[in-house]
């Protein structure tokens, strides 16, 4: 096993590899996110990658899609050291002049659109989730307040359109808000269906829905609500589990991902992109040219041009081959849970012995998923000598709406059984000896809860930015995260005590490594400090790392290093 000094050097090299993500095109320039200078911000470059320059200030949290024929882009930046209260700015991509776009109260911006001189956004308000509007250089005005989750996705000049929960926590409806009359019109193709909207184009709104029984993509006329199906590709001879829209490209074609039992494939219109393995996370087609963001477990996130069926890298990083060489095998398997439901799971084998020390990695969300994509946390664990098992437990996205909704009303219930099933699989197949559970955000919550609900399953736990007390978290949260908690639990507040680790401290056997941002407003620090007090009173083994000036979202290279390093050192000390 390598020394701690060697490990630190290896992890620092990994963490400092910049990521690149295409955001769009403005004034014939690529607009993209990167950590090339150690912090998340917007950069611009020519389409061939030349003349690249940092453009925005730090901690960009939301962006209105850039437009090719405009030199102005609009975005929000966190101005509160990680508390995710955003101020909206404009940027001239030619002169790189950044200015405040609106006079506004800094807020959690969760949807942002610019049309001409008008800016529309959705965000947390004092009394719910609001829709706000203002003219560049003017003052933001709140137009509408909703007691539920709501996301603005576009503005047509007459209507503000988007997605929201208007009829309970198990369905999403489309909405249009008339800025002239103030009328809010809610539309659903079928009661109880889940509908996620995207961009509007030529009077039609692009959206994903399960209203016909399985997930697909459609367009709807924003005036008369007539629906058209996006022309499907020639379907492969295997079951389609889900479709994930990427966007309506500048050239008018739809880009999307298709999920099957074998993984994910990327499509543009009716054509499958010639990309084997890895993941496409954004794609634009403009003037016949195709630009996209691509990565895999062993390829850092980069921006590419697709030319004659091959990827030409424009912006990207070359990883240390010694680190990549630690990944000996990647498998994608389906594991039966306690009730027979099959759980899609990625397994990354390191150069550790078999059976060997294994980390069960629990993703955040829960409405998210692990894909064959670059992940510093997962690769860092492999590079440190651990096998990694990453289950996409029920509630994960990417496997259909029915699978995603299975977590609603039962967080910390059957999803925990899925995680235990993946752990048992790792033991039964000869991969795992000693076992750890580790996660961030929802994964941190699952780590805290799993180690007290199933205290004999894992030898150690690493909980990052987790929730230990849902009742106190609800009281401390803003309007948006209050609605998130109510939605996730299907308004079953009676479950909050049972799904809060702070009420079961006596059961804990596994040593814990607790890592938490100081300025986290999604999973506040105060309940975790109380949990640590109880651990101390009960004589439980734990260590704690509070990261100053960091919020829930990881926005700097230093932040992720402060997360990864103590976790890896703790795991090495406990599992080897």
Q: Cβ atoms within 10 A of the Cβ of 32, count? A: 27
Give how far Cα 18 sits from Cα of 33, 327, 387, 556, Å: 10, 20, 24, 10
Torsion sign (Cα): 146, 152, 155, 161: negative
Is the distance from CB of 63 to CB of 73 less than 8 angstroms?
Answer: yes
What's the CA gap between 511 and 507, in Å, rounded? 12
Stretch (H or E) spanning 176:
strand 173-178
Instruction: Count CB neighbours of 106 within 10 A.
Output: 17
CA dihedral 420, 424, 425, 431 (to 10 degrees): 120
Q: Please, which residues have CB within 8 angstroms of residue 363's CB and are 6 or more apart in sequence?
A: 369, 370, 390, 392, 396, 439, 442, 443
Mapping DSSP to helix (H, G, I), strand (E, B) and coil, where does residue 27 land? coil
Supply the residues annotated as catalytic. Answer: 441, 520, 552
* Greatest distance between any 2 Cα atoms in the chain: 68
Sign of the dihedral defined by the CA atoms of residues 93, 98, 104, 110, in that order: positive
- The separation between CA 289 and the C-alpha centre of its own chain, rounded to angstroms, equals 27
Cis peptide before 366 (omega within 30 of 0): yes
**What DSSP string describes 260-290?**
ETTEEEEEETTEEPS--SSEEEEEEEETTEE
Burial of 309 (0-12, 13-18, 19+ CB in 10 A): exposed
* Phi, psi at 407, each rounded to 5°: -85, -20
Distance of alpha carbon 253 from alpha carbon 416, whole angstroms = 40
E strand map for 202-318: 204-209, 216-221, 227-229, 240-248, 254-260, 263-268, 271-272, 279-286, 289-296, 299-307, 310-315
Are 420 and 437 within 8 A, CB to CB? no
Q: Are the CB atoms for 540 and 502 separated by under 8 Å?
A: no
> Can you tell me the distance from the alpha carbon of 407 to that of 73, in angstroms, rounded to the nearest whole number?
37
Indicate the helix (H) or strand (E) that contains 131.
strand 128-135
How large is the angle between the packed helices 442-453 and 414-428, nearest 10 degrees?
Answer: 80
- Say which residues have a Cβ less than 8 Å from residue 264's Cβ, sequence separation at least 6: 244, 257, 258, 279, 371, 372, 398
């Amino acid at each position: 096993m390598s020394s701690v000094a060697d490990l630190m050097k290896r992890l620092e090299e990994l963490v400092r590899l910049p990521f690149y993500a295409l955001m769009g095109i403005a004034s014939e320039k690529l607009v993209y996110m990167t950590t090339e200078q150690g912090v998340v911000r917007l950069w611009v470059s020519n389409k061939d990658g030349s003349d690249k320059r940092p453009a925005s200030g730090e901690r960009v949290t939301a962006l209105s899609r850039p437009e090719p024929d405009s030199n102005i882009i609009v975005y929000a930046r966190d101005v509160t050291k990680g508390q995710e209260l955003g101020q909206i700015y404009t940027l001239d991509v030619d002169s790189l002049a950044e200015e405040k776009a609106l006079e506004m109260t800094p807020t959690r911006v969760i949807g942002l659109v610019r049309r001409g001189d008008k800016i529309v956004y959705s965000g947390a308000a004092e009394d719910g989730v609001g829709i706000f509007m203002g003219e560049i250089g003017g003052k933001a005005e709140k137009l509408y307040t909703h007691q539920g989750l709501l996301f603005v996705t576009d503005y047509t000049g007459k209507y503000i359109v988007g997605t929201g929960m208007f009829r309970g926590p198990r369905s999403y409806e489309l909405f249009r808000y008339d800025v002239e009359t103030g009328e809010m019109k809610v539309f659903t193709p079928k009661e109880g269906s889940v509908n996620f909207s995207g961009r509007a184009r030529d009077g039609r709104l692009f959206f994903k829905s399960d209203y016909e029984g399985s997930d697909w993509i459609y367009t709807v006329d924003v005036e008369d609500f007539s629906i058209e199906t996006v022309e499907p590709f020639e379907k492969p001879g295997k079951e389609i589990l889900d479709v994930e829209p990427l966007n309506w490209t500048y050239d008018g074609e739809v880009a999307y991902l298709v999920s099957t039992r074998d993984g994910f494939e990327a499509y543009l219109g009716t054509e499958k992109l010639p990309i084997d393995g890895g993941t496409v996370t954004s794609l634009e087609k403009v003037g016949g040219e195709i630009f996209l963001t691509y990565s895999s477990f062993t390829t850092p996130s980069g921006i590419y041009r697709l030319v004659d069926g091959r990827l030409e890298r424009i912006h990207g990083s070359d990883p240390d081959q010694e680190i990549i060489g630690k990944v000996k095998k990647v498998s994608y398997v389906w594991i039966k849970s306690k009730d027979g439901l099959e759980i899609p799971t990625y397994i990354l084998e390191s150069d550790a012995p078999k059976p060997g020390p294994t980390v069960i990695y629990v993703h955040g969300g829960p409405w998210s998923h692990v894909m064959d994509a670059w992940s510093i946390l997962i690769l860092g664990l492999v590079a440190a000598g651990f096998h990694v098992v990453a289950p996409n437990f029920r509630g994960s996205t990417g496997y259909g709406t029915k699978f995603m909704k299975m977590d609603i009303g039962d967080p910390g219930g059957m999803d925990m059984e899925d995680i235990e099933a993946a752990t048992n699989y790792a033991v039964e197949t000869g991969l795992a000896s000693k076992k750890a559970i580790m996660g961030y955000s929802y994964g941190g919550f699952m780590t805290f809860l799993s180690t007290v609900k199933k205290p004999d399953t894992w030898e150690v736990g690493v909980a990052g930015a987790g929730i230990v007390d849902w009742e106190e978290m609800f009281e401390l949260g803003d309007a948006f995260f209050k609605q998130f908690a109510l939605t996730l639990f299907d308004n079953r507040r009676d479950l909050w005590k049972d799904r809060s680790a702070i009420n079961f401290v006596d059961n804990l056997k596994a040593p814990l490594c607790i890592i938490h941002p100081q300025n986290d407003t999604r999973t506040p620090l105060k309940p975790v400090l109380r949990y640590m007090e109880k651990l101390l009173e009960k004589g439980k083994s734990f260590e704690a790392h509070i990261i100053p000036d960091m919020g829930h979202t990881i926005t700097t290279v230093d932040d992720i290093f402060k997360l990864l390093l103590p976790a890896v050192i703790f795991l090495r000390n406990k599992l080897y």
